A and B are shown apart, each in its own frame.
Chain A
Amino acid sequence: MSIPASSPLAAPSLLQIEAQFKSRIWRGDAFGSSPDEVVSSGFDKLDKALPGGGWPTRSLTELLLPAEGLGEIRLLSESLRQIIRRGGNILLVSPPYIPYMHAWENLYMDSRRILIAGVYKPAERLWVLEQGIKSAAFGAVVGWLPEVSQQTTRRLQIIARAAAGLIFLFRPVSAQFEPSAAPLRILLGSARRHVLSVRILKRRGTPVASPIHISLPWTGRFSNSVASLSASDQSNAVDRSSLSSVVT
């Protein structure tokens, strides 16, 4: 038995349903899109992997970092620079070291737009983070959170829904096996020299199997040869200079 397609009784086909509720349905196997505004990360490869094509506003982005000094600031620098250029301020909540503003300025981030909240008690840190996310003053809030519970990330995520800016949380790698309410979770690591490996652990849409390799700005600058070094080190240095021309 067959029902003609024009019959009003006919069950709508999957395609019709999808067309009708386009904005409200996303397929689990498809690449998600973000209904919120995004800010380009400045790296094409990464933008392509992020839902909506950039860092999402109005939601938490968790960056799991094994250790500082892998290039995490250079990873964010391009998006933060865009925020600053639009007149936004940036709040750093309990950064692990002192930001060296000359370097930040050289990454085109205006030091006068960067505020540092030096609070290191867990409760105070959370409070400052919440206040910063809630405040309309910041275009981006970057926080370093060593230990935090799932309820806390959920709470932050709910607050973030009402905020307009980017929110980055740096967390230790050990957090990758804990559940988190952040819609975007990324594991950072160093792939080769000066190439950051970015593995998206969680995003809206299909999971990403393989890590993305990103060559950071300034990479070329580290490839000067080292004077007065032993022969083995010299060979390393040579290795690197050839690499920089490949990645930049």
Chain B
Amino acid sequence: MLWIALHCPALSLDWVERRFPAALIPAMAVTVRKGNQVYIQQANQPAQRYGVMAHQPLAGALALFPDLVVIEHDPNEEMKVLQEAAHAALRFTPNIVMQRGGGLIAEVSASLRLFGGLKKLCQLLNRAVAAQGLQLCTGIAPTARGAWLLALSAPPRTVINGAGVKFRSLLDSLPVGLLESAQPHLEVIRGIGCKTLADLRQLPRSGIARRFGPNLPAELDRAYGDSPDPQKWLEIPEYFQQAMKLMAQVESVESLLVPVQRMIEQMCGWLASRHTAVLAFSFVLHHEYSLRQPHKSTPINIRLSEQSGDPRHLMILLRERLERTKIAAPVCELELVADEITAGADANLELFPTAQSEATSLNRFIEKLTFRLGPRAISGLTVVPDHRPERSQRFEPLGMKGISSFSYRETHRETIPAELARPAWLVETPLELKLQRRQPVYGSPLKLIAGPERIEAGWWDDAPIARDYFIAENALGQLLWIYHEHNPAEKDKKGKTAKSWYLQGLFG
């Protein structure tokens, strides 16, 4: 077994700070009640600049800086934040323990190979949890308790690696004060000259148990791996619905992106732990409700053409949509719900790109385009067996249907026989050509090269045509597909009036 413990030394502040847009974090302090006195437990950096420090009475701190934002210590919120962070960490291992005292312990022995070794995994895990807005100290050890003690002793943003032979000697040097069960007896233990765990372990075991309770030697045993240490694993919820209250009224999309990114990461961790992928999710911006401002919420529903559990991809889609969304009123709460889940096909690690990965990237490309430019931005053309050029093909917006419906349509396509020359380009609506001495002109007078080819079709529906098509060339060398209406009845009436020519296509 190999454990990575992440301790959040500033958790009571972090959970508040992460709800502010980064630029708007005020001077804050978290207070805790001791008897009938209120003390500062932790102060953030802006507050520390005014001289506010931990263990100050609240009154003293307010005297230093009257505008200090005071927040009461709230274990429930802290646990909630930890749980969210644990969701983000689920991507790396399903075995996570929520640790009392503000931290997570993850069992990673099964994940080492997939993520490229302990060092890399530890980095990734650290980064993922830190991205949730938490400060971390990290300990690595073969026992859960040992990893946690190492993490407690680590200075902020550092890793103590106790995996390997150094483990016991590292534990031995830790101060006694880190042990949970030693807390009530700390003064006595220090009084008898025990400073480190090694000192404590040298004392007779029965004596320690009698004097300080049986928990202390048991905790030591668990830390050193001398007795089993069953864990209560984090339970993964059946549904994913995460809400996040913001501490400020946010009006710009830019400042929403950080919390949005965090929520997406949580969702993807949750998806990974369940081996699923998301097909549709909704993101809701809740607005502060008032009589003057009746707009309650702005929902953004996103449906993917292909399931995905990739946070980067989901973030790109959501971002494109967010940037096009008009924020009607200040946002005070965000909510993310995974609406439709499907069994996810984990992308295999491929040495060479295969058809599967190509189809995926094509779907992603189509998705990206439609989310930014609208569903009609990208299309395919379906060949229809009809001789009328206007009706012989159909635009097929690839929008939300994706390539799957496009690329694997009917395999048999009936095209106009190759002996009949057809131009590579069609003009959207036939362009009437000017005439010069009864000759059609496009750039310069046209010379007819081939023709006529009569296309007479459509008597069975409402768009019959009867045209004589010619291929013509102008001085520039452009080959054009032009026609004039074939209408015997009219000709009889008007005699030999100049007929109009239309440009229908270009031979590209």
Residues of chain A within 8 A (CB-CB) of B423 are 69, 100, 103
A161-172 Cβ-contact flags toward B at 8 Å (1 or 0): 000000000000
- Report, as a range, how many residues of chain B touch the other chain: 35 or more
Partner of A105, one of B357, B415, B473: B415
A98 in contact with B507 (CB, 8 Å): no
Task: Report Cα–Cα, A115/B448, bound state, in Å.
Answer: 33
Is A45 an interface residue when CB atoms closer than 8 A count as contact? Answer: no
Q: Which residue of B lies closest to A225 (CB)?
A: B450
A213-236 Cβ-contact flags toward B at 8 Å (1 or 0): 000001001111111110001001
Task: Report Cα–Cα, A72/B424, bound state, in Å.
Answer: 9
Q: Which residue of B lies closest to A236 (CB)?
A: B447
B508 in contact with A72 (CB, 8 Å): yes
Task: Report Cα–Cα, A135/B407, bound state, in Å.
Answer: 17
Q: Which residue of B lies closest to A216 (CB)?
A: B507
- Report, as a range, how many residues of chain A touch the other chain: 35 or more
Q: Given A112-B380, A132-B365, A135-B365: A70 and B449 within 8 A (CB)? A: no
Smallest beta-carbon distance B261→chain A, Å: 21
Residues of chain B within 8 A (CB-CB) of A128 are 369, 373, 377
Residues of chain B within 8 A (CB-CB) of A176 are none
B479 in contact with A229 (CB, 8 Å): no
B171-199 Cβ-contact flags toward A at 8 Å (1 or 0): 00000000000000000000000000000
Is A158 an interface residue when CB atoms closer than 8 A count as contact? Answer: no
Task: Report Cα–Cα, A117/B379, bound state, in Å.
Answer: 6
B361-400 Cβ-contact flags toward A at 8 Å (1 or 0): 1101110110011001111111100000100110000100
Residues of chain A within 8 A (CB-CB) of B398 are 115
A49-66 Cβ-contact flags toward B at 8 Å (1 or 0): 000000000000000001
Interface centre among B421, B428, B449, B471 (most CB of A within 10 A): B449
Is B422 an interface residue when CB atoms closer than 8 A count as contact? Answer: yes
Task: Report Cα–Cα, A113/B383, bound state, in Å.
Answer: 12
A227-248 Cβ-contact flags toward B at 8 Å (1 or 0): 1110001001100100000000
Partner of B416, one of A106, A114, A193: A106
Q: Which residue of A lies closest to B365 (CB)?
A: A135
Interface of B, helix, strand, loop or mixed by DSSP: mixed
Q: Which residue of A lies closest to B366 (CB)?
A: A115
Q: Given A71-B507, A190-B476: A222 and B424 within 8 A (CB)? A: no
Residues of chain B within 8 A (CB-CB) of A223 are 449-450
A136 in contact with B380 (CB, 8 Å): no
Is A67 an interface residue when CB atoms closer than 8 A count as contact? Answer: yes
B9-53 Cβ-contact flags toward A at 8 Å (1 or 0): 000000000000000000000000000000000000000000000
B448 in contact with A135 (CB, 8 Å): no
Residues of chain A within 8 A (CB-CB) of B408 are 112
A226 in contact with B424 (CB, 8 Å): no
A115-138 Cβ-contact flags toward B at 8 Å (1 or 0): 111110000100110011001111
Q: Given A111-B382, A223-B449: A68 and B361 within 8 A (CB)? A: no
Smallest beta-carbon distance A153→chain B, Å: 22
Task: Report Cα–Cα, A137/B379, bound state, in Å.
Answer: 15
A100 in contact with B353 (CB, 8 Å): no
Q: Which residue of A lies closest to B355 (CB)?
A: A87
Q: Given A68-B478, A137-B358: A237 and B449 within 8 A (CB)? A: yes
Residues of chain A within 8 A (CB-CB) of B452 are 226-228
Partner of A106, one of B377, B409, B418: B418
Residues of chain B within 8 A (CB-CB) of A66 are 476
Smallest beta-carbon distance A237→chain B, Å: 7
Is A177 an interface residue when CB atoms closer than 8 A count as contact? Answer: no
Smallest beta-carbon distance B418→chain A, Å: 4
Is B455 an interface residue when CB atoms closer than 8 A count as contact? Answer: no
A98 in contact with B449 (CB, 8 Å): no
Smallest beta-carbon distance A91→chain B, Å: 8
Q: Given A111-B380, A222-B479, A226-B449: A69 and B422 within 8 A (CB)? A: no
For the complex of A and B, 5 pairs with smallest distance between CB atoms: A190-B477, A69-B506, A137-B362, A97-B425, A73-B508
26 A-B interface contacts by CB (under 8 A): A68-B425, A69-B423, A69-B480, A71-B508, A89-B362, A89-B407, A97-B427, A97-B506, A99-B425, A100-B393, A100-B425, A100-B426, A101-B381, A102-B416, A105-B383, A106-B415, A115-B379, A116-B379, A117-B377, A135-B361, A137-B365, A190-B477, A222-B421, A222-B449, A226-B451, A233-B447
Task: Write the residues of chain A forming the contact surface with B, with a CB cutoff of 8 angstroms.
Answer: 66-74, 87-89, 95-107, 111-119, 124, 127-128, 131-132, 135-138, 189-191, 193-194, 218, 221-229, 233, 236-237, 240
Having A105-B415, A107-B424, one finds 16 other A-B pairs with CB under 8 Å, namely A67-B476, A67-B478, A89-B358, A99-B425, A100-B392, A101-B381, A101-B382, A102-B392, A124-B373, A135-B362, A137-B364, A190-B477, A218-B507, A221-B419, A222-B450, A223-B449
